[in-house]
Amino acid sequence: MAEKNISMAVIRRLPKYHRYLGDLLDKDVQRISSKELSDIIGFTASQIRQDLNNFGGFGQQGYGYNVEALHNEIGNILGLNKIYNAVLIGAGNLGQAIANYAGFRKSGFEIKALFDANPRMIGLKIRDFEVLDSENLESFVEENNIDIAILCIPKNGAQDVVDRLVNVGVKGIWNFAPIDLDVPKGVIVENVNLTESLFTLSYFVQRHLVFVKKNENVEENNYAASLK
């Protein structure tokens, strides 16, 4: 399917479409209109039609969308039709939590090894993995066809590790370290920051409190509407 230049905002919404459509498939729902999808996902029906039109549109007037076809197609667009080999660097609290979550593997992201620089961590068993010495990162990446690195180390040293990974051909960095990484063209960094997400929550919580205080009789739903 020919893809136009897709805006980042649309790309950011695709995983959500994929997840909700997966839930519908689990419930054996075979087709759905943009209006019904809108009620579930919360985007407007016209937004949904516009988003999906970017990829040629999968809906048919009067029929709606075929849930399975749409789920598969969005999965293909997201590149979920293959297995990605990953290494995880930094086997501390966060690294272990990620390594212990089985869902990534189910979605096609296969963590092949965990690495750490701390001699006390090296050799520890975490899930199916023995933590490896990060001195040996390059040879492992080269020998195991690694696509993605998951970075769970402090910001000091993170750029060095990334430079080493990029040198041996890693193309995607899932970055949890609180640092803006420099990478050459062709390498993609996806930053994840739970603290930023928490701060966004804090903004809305305190705004809600102020709103409720000012409008003692206002119902909760009106507050939600006021944010749109």
Residues that bind ligand NAI (CB under 6 A): 89-95, 115-118, 121, 134, 152-155, 157, 161, 176-178, 192-195
Q: Least Å distance between CB 179 and ligand NAI?
A: 8
- Least separation in angstroms between CB 185 and ligand NAI: 24
Q: Return the number of the residue (188 or 218) whose C-beta is nearest ligand NAI.
A: 188
Q: Which residue has the tokens 């519908």?
A: 24
* Chain residue at closest Cβ approach to ligand NAI: 92
Residue nearer to ligand NAI on the CB measure, 20 or 140 = 140
Beta pairing, strands 148-151 & 84-89: parallel
Q: Of 67 and 91, which has the nearer Cβ to ligand NAI? A: 91
Rounded to a whole number of angstroms, the minimum distance from the CB of residue 174 to ligand NAI is 10
Least separation in angstroms between residue 114's CB and ligand NAI is 10
Residues whose CB falls within 8 Å of the CB of residue 78, separated by 6 or more in sequence, listed in order:
14, 15, 18
Q: Would strands 64-66 and 59-60 be described as parallel, antiparallel, or unpaired?
A: antiparallel
**Which is nearer to ligand NAI, 32 or 177 (by Cβ)?**
177
Work out how close the CB of 161 gets to ligand NAI at its nearest, in angstroms, rounded to a whole number. 5
- Whether the Cβ atoms of residue 116 and residue 87 lie closer than 8 Å to each other: no
Q: Is the dihedral of CA 77, 81, 82, 85 positive or negative?
A: positive
Q: Which is nearer to ligand NAI, 116 or 147 (CB)?
A: 116
Task: Write out the two tokens for 66.
Answer: 């075929």
Of 48 and 158, nearer to ligand NAI (C-beta) is 158
* CA separation for the pair 100, 89 (Å, rounded): 14
Could you tell me if 141 and 115 are in contact, meaning their C-beta atoms sit under 8 angstroms apart?
no
Indicate the DSSP class of residue 84. Answer: E
Identify which of 110, 89, 36 has the alpha carbon closest to the alpha carbon of residue 67.
Answer: 36
Shortest distance in whole angstroms from residue 67 CB to ligand NAI: 32
The residue (of 93 and 221) whose beta carbon lies closer to ligand NAI is 93
Amino acid in the structure at residue 86: A
Task: List Cα–Cα distances, 167 to 63, 73, 140, 170, in angstroms.
Answer: 50, 33, 13, 7
Q: How far is the CB of 156 from ligand NAI (least distance, A)?
A: 7
